[in-house]
Amino acid sequence: MLSYQHGYHAGGFADLHKHAALCLLIAHLKQKTTPFCMIDCHAGRGLYDLTGEQARRTGEWQAGIAQLVKAEPANDVLRHYLDVVTAFNPRDSLTAYPGSPSIAARLMSEQDRLVLIEAHPAEHEALRRVLRHDPRTHIHKRNSFEALPGLVPPDERRGLVLIDPSYELKTEYQTVPRVLAKVLRRWPSGIFTIWYPLLPDNRHQPLLAGLQTLAKPLLVAELTGPARDQGLRGTGLAVINPPWQFPETFGKAGAELGRCLFGAKGKHVQRVTGQTP
C-alpha cells in the first residue's frame, strides 16, 4: 500500500522546476495546430491546499512558490508558469497550488486529451473531484507501470508522458527505464519527462544509467541549492526526445529559478546526449 502524499511537498522547489518544464513542453506542443495527448502517470490529487495541515507541517511551499512569487523573475518561462499558478488563487494571495493535472488542463486546448493515472485511493478520489467534469480527461486508478504500455501510442500520435513517481520503492529507479524501453518501442517519437530526487546517496544513478541505454535524445537538468547532508539536496528531470530549442530555453529558466530560490548557491546544470530532433 502506497503511503506517499504529495500535499507535504506541493509548491516546493522540486515542483517549481518540474512544473516550469511542463508549461514549456506544453507550449512547444501547442505550436502545431494538431491535437496532442498528455499522459500523467503519477497524477497526485490535482490541486493542493496551502493552508491545510500537510502544507503547514513542512512549509516547503514557503521556500518554493511563495519565494518565487516574491522574487518577481523576469524570465518568460517562469513568468508564464507563475501566471498559471496565480490563476488558481484569489488576487494577491497564495492559498492553493495546482498539481501537474491542473496545470496541464489549464494549458491544453479543447481538442487535446489528458490521461491521468493515480494509484492511491484517497488521492485518486480527490483528483476525480477536481477534474471529473472536464471532458478532455480520462482518470484511471491503476499502477501506471502496468498501464502505460497499453496506453501508447495515443491516437493523436503526438504528446507527452510525465513520469513522477514517489520512489517509495527503491526498485523504481530500475523499473522506470525498463518500462520505458517497452513503451518507446511502441511510441518512439513521444516526449517523456521523468522526475527524480537528488539525495545524498545518489540513488538515482541507476535510473540515469538505464535511461542512457535507451539510445534516444536525452536532456538531463538538475537544480541544487546549498549543500545538505540529508534530505532532498536537489531535483532532477530527464526529458527523452526534448523538443527543438527546449534545452536552451529551459536552461535559462532553470538558472534564474536557482538564483531566485537559492541566491548564489543555486546551481542549474544540464547535459544533452544523443541526437536532438
Ligand X SMILES: C[S@@+](CC[C@H](N)C(=O)[O-])C[C@H]1O[C@@H](n2cnc3c(N)ncnc32)[C@H](O)[C@@H]1O
- Residue 153 is given by DSSP the state S
Please report whether residue 256 would count as binding ligand X according to CB under 6 A: no
Ranges within 187-226 binding ligand X (CB under 6 A): none
CA 266 to the chain's CA centroid: 20
Toward ligand X, which CB reaches closer, 115 or 219? 115
Please report whether residue 7 would count as binding ligand X according to CB under 6 A: no
Stretch that binds ligand X, among 24-32, 37-45, 128-136, 240-248 (CB under 6 A): 37-45
Toward ligand X, which CB reaches closer, 147 or 272? 147
Q: Which one among 44, 159, 236, 254 touches ligand X, defined by CB under 6 A?
A: 44
Q: Which one among 75, 137, 144, 270 touches ligand X, defined by CB under 6 A?
A: 144
Q: Measured between alpha carbons, how far is 181 from 198 in angstroms, rounded to an integer?
A: 23
Q: Measured between alpha carbons, how far is 252 from 202 in angstroms, rounded to an integer?
A: 25
135's CB contacts (< 8 A; 6+ apart) are none
Ranges within 91-120 binding ligand X (CB under 6 A): 99-100, 117-120
Stretch that binds ligand X, among 29-37, 86-94, 160-168, 238-246 (CB under 6 A): 160-168
Q: Measured between alpha carbons, how far is 267 from 277 in angstroms, rounded to an integer?
A: 27
Q: Measured between alpha carbons, how far is 156 from 263 in angstroms, rounded to an integer?
A: 42
Toward ligand X, which CB reaches closer, 60 or 118? 118
Please report whether residue 270 would count as binding ligand X according to CB under 6 A: no
Residue nearest to ligand X according to CB distances in the complex: 99
37's CB contacts (< 8 A; 6+ apart) are 112, 113, 114, 115, 154, 155, 156, 158, 159, 160
Let me know if 201 is a catalytic residue. Answer: no
Stretch that binds ligand X, among 2-10, 61-69, 216-224, 252-260 (CB under 6 A): 2-10
Q: Which one among 34, 143, 171, 189 touches ligand X, defined by CB under 6 A?
A: 143
Q: Is the dihedral of CA 99, 209, 26, 93 positive or negative?
A: positive
Toward ligand X, which CB reaches closer, 122 or 215? 122
Toward ligand X, which CB reaches closer, 164 or 222? 164
- Crossing angle (nearest 10°) for helices 76-86 and 100-107: 100
Please report whether residue 268 would count as binding ligand X according to CB under 6 A: no
The label of the residue with cell 494509484 reads: 119
- Residue 96 is given by DSSP the state E
> What is the radius of gyration, based on Cα positions, of the chain?
17
Do residues 144 and 176 make contact, with C-beta atoms less than 8 angstroms apart? no
Stretch that binds ligand X, among 68-76, 104-112, 143-151, 244-252 (CB under 6 A): 143-151
4: helix, strand or coil: coil
Toward ligand X, which CB reaches closer, 1 or 227? 1
Please report whether residue 60 would count as binding ligand X according to CB under 6 A: no
User: Phi and psi of 139, rounded to 5°?
Assistant: -115, 120
Among 76, 83, 164, 229, the active-site one is 164
Please report whether residue 12 would count as binding ligand X according to CB under 6 A: no
C-alpha cell at 157: 500520435
Site of interaction with ligand X (CB under 6 A): 2, 4, 6, 18, 42-44, 99-100, 117-120, 123, 143-145, 164-166
Please identify every residue annotated as catalytic: 164
